[in-house]
Structure formats: structure tokens, C-alpha cells
Amino acid sequence: MYHHIKKLMFTVRVGTPDPRFGNMLLEQFGGANGELAAAMQYSIQGINCDDMACKDLLMDIGTEELSHLEVIGTLARMHLKPMKKDAEAAEHDPLIAIAGGGGVALCNSMGNAWTSDYLKVTGELDVDLRSNIAAEARAKIVYERLIDFCDDPGSKEALQFLMTREITHLRAFMSALDSLGKSALSIGAIPPTPVIVDQYYNDSTGEGDQGEQDFTGPWNTGEGISIIESPALAGFQVLKATPKTSRTTLDTEKKQKPAKK
């Protein structure tokens, strides 16, 4: 059940409207990382969720995102409003000016229509929570960039508020994921194939004129990980781990070529 209260979650104040900036704000209204996408993603995940505690979390944040949609939509509308009568302002976004009358529309900053393809909903709670963590991180970065491109103090205050709430939500999703007590690599029910799961394919090689140097780190030198050197250059041969070594050799299964006459 939803109930709309005729008051913004954060009061929006705009000094001098900037239609060009208003167009940028549409990215957070109807874009891939925007508030509508977040609201729909979390709410639908919540509807599908059998874990009552996490369902409550998802519906709480999904509903808040609708409030954020109202804030960013109001902010965008205030910046776009000059397009209603000012031909010069309308040139910054003819689609919004002519088809939308200087108001917001369910599209991104390039005029592309909002689509449910933006949503990441798998029905696997831990997978969905990871998607949500990434979504909040992306949205935070978008808000940072909008703030950097904005000169209006009131607009920056609203954007700062929305950006901050992304971190609040990110923390909540991280805590919920941690509360499940699952290993980070425990995805789904079917276990990965032994040996293969611990092989790191060194698929980007070359030094000097052939490319940049190879690097090592926890991703390819961690406990139990073996490195397979340039599998493509070895002709897509069958890969098998060599015991007691940090590197992996290649077992060849080459077909015999007919002798030349």
C-alpha cells in the first residue's frame, strides 16, 4: 500500500535555472542508474523475496527510492522549466521542450526511453543484494559528477542529500548480504568444477613492443590458485593442473595432421 504525502523528502531550491543541467539530471530520473530503476528493482525483488527480514529491507528502500524520484524529478523540472517559453533554452533539448513541454519524461539525458531492461532481478537473494550494492555505488558516482557540473547552491544541496542516501542504502545491502552467512563464492546450488575453478588464465600477455608487463596480485597468486599461461596461444588445448606448482602446464590433445605429399 502506498500513500503520497504532498511534501518532498528534501526541499528543493533552485536559484537560476539551467536547462542544460536539467537535461543532465534526467539521467538520474529515467536513466539506467536512476531513481526509478532503483525503486522498481528493489520493490520487485522484495515482492519475490521469501526472507521476511530482507523483504522488509527491500520494500523500505524501494519505497524511499520513489521519494528520491520525486526529488530529482522536481529538481530537473525546475531547471527545465525555461524551455516552455524560451526558444534559446529549448534548443538545449528540443525533445523535452516540444514533446514534453519543458517537463521531465521517462527518459535519460540522451532522450532514450526508460526500460525495464535496466532492472536486475534474479530471485536469488544473495545475487540480488550484490546487484543492489553495485547499483548504489554507480548511482553515487553519477551524483558526484552531477554535483561537479553544478554551480547552483540549492541544487547541490539536494544532490548531496541524494548522494549520501546511496551510501546509506549500500551499507544496508552489504549488512543484509553479510547476515546471510554465505561464502562470497557460494552462488546458487550447483558447485563449480574442482581444479578448473582455481585456474587463472593469463590471457593478456606481452612485454616491450608486444605490450605491457604482467602483474601479480591476490587475484592470481592467492592460496590454491594456479596460473595458466596464454591458453589461446597454446591452441585451446585441454587445461589440467600440475600438482605442487604455482604455475599450470598444458596437456596437449592435438589431432594428427596428414603428412604432406
Q: How confident is the model over 61-102, as pLDDT tens digits?
A: 999 999 999 999 999 999 999 988 888 888 878 888 887 888
CA-to-CA dists, residue 79 to 6, 9, 82, 104, 155, angstroms = 21, 19, 7, 10, 9
Q: What is the pLDDT of residue 98?
A: 81
Model-wide pTM > 0.75: yes
One-letter amino acid at 240 equals K
Residue spans in the chain of domains classed CATH 1.20.1260.10:
19-179
pLDDT tens profile 128-150:
999 999 999 999 999 999 999 99
What's CA 226's distance to the chain center, in Å? 30
Most confident of 81-90, 119-128, 239-248: 119-128
- The CATH superfamily of 19-179 is Ferritin, core subunit, four-helix bundle (1.20.1260.10)
